[in-house]
Amino acid sequence: MRTTKFVYHLIALFTVAATLLSACGGGGGASTDFDWSTAKSVTDGGGMDALVAAAKAEGTLTTIALPHDWCNYGEAIETFKTKYGLQVNELNPDAGSGDEIEAVKANKDNKGPQAPDVIDVGFGFGPQLVDEGITAPYKVATWDTIPADVKHPDGYWFGDYYGVLGFEVATDFVENVPQTWADLLKPEYKGKVALAGDPRTSNQAIQAVNAAALANGGSFEDPTPGLEFFKKLNEAGNFVPVIAKAATIASGETPIVIRWDYLALTDRDTFAGNPNIEFVIPSDGTPVAGVYLQGISAYAPQPAAARLWQEFLYSDEGQLLWLKGYCHPIRYNDLVARNVIPADMAAKLPPAEAYAKAVFPTLDQLATAKQIITENWDAVVGADVK
């Protein structure tokens, strides 16, 4: 009888001990039911192993506005899926930055497949993310190697990559490749010039108007000359009010597109001469460089998967996948300093001197320009881009 009671006591003790260990997360780690929506770093939840396990339990990541030919996102998404065994639900790949924010807001109380977990928006949208509570604070493990001027101090947003605007020209449909903004007004380009987004919502298109302004006596504080330039382009019949995509470029519907360098260079590789693509940084004005931002939705249905996606993108592996797609990753200087960029990848990048004059507008400049452009496009230009 004493033996039986002793065994019962041992079982009881083991049960209590197991319960205590589980509540403590196995002796120092996070518990299995840790709420990853509250994590501000991977260490908050017990480290990478815990994050991977939680993300796998969620099973899916929902992205938005990530075309596969944009910054090599196609390979990045497939690599992430293979590496971690998650599915990726891709919403509206051609959405603009404003569309992404509206998708988060519209799905605040929706845990279904229409609610984005993560967003990738233009630098000028950073303040809005904070002011409207769109994103959750989080700092990736490589946080210290992200330059301070392109990240929110508390992690509500952080730069991911950058590029420079220029002209992507399908030379099979254009006899003379334009070299300046002024060239675009020539009669020979009638029905040939397009934007890669709607300038009322798309960061890329807004920056195109900014670039036109700088070439026509304007500034980020006063982008009105850029709006006037597009008014002239539209009145001349040169402007095509179609959001340019790979298909419209290849067909000749939009053979001249004002576009980020990395997208044009990717098209050049992808089309492989059908049609032939040439990329030009216009010689008049000042080249505009643009930084994009990552953020985790404050309402992410899959908060662990969202954070794992960011850890992946900001690892050396993720950064090099962006660079492979001709996007300069935000940790580029750190990669160079540690000599981790493959020589063949570096050799395919445009020459550095082509970017020597490029300017990076500040958040305040972008906010001012964005407001003026989005609010006045219809009245000044009068072209419904879609």
Q: What is the 3 state secondary structure string of 32-75? A: CCCCHHHCCCHHHHCCHHHHHHHHHHHCEEEEECCCCCCCCHHH
What's the pLDDT band for 211 if we cut at 50, 70, 90?
very high
For residue 175, pLDDT over 90 is answered with: yes
Domain boundaries, the chain: 38-162+291-347, 163-288+352-380
Assess contact for 227 and 216: CB atoms under 8 A. no
What mean pLDDT do residues 190-200 have?
Answer: 96
For residue 305, pLDDT over 70 is answered with: yes
**What pTM, to 2 d.p., does this model score?**
0.77
**pLDDT number for residue 28:** 39
Express as a percent the part of the chain with pLDDT over 70.
91
**pLDDT number for residue 22:** 40
Assess contact for 36 and 300: CB atoms under 8 A. no
Assess contact for 93 and 68: CB atoms under 8 A. yes
Q: Do domains 38-162+291-347 and 163-288+352-380 have the same CATH topology?
A: yes
Segment 249-261, tens digit of pLDDT: 999 999 999 999 9
* CA distances (Å), origin 52, targets 32, 49, 142: 12, 5, 17
More confident residue, 3 or 216: 216
Instruction: Kindly tell me the sign of the dihedral angle through the C-alpha atoms of 351, 79, 126, 199.
Output: positive
More confident residue, 375 or 351: 375
Q: Check: CATH 3.40.190.10 for 163-288+352-380?
A: yes
Q: Check: CATH 3.40.190.10 for 38-162+291-347?
A: yes
372 CB neighbour count, 10 Å cutoff: 22
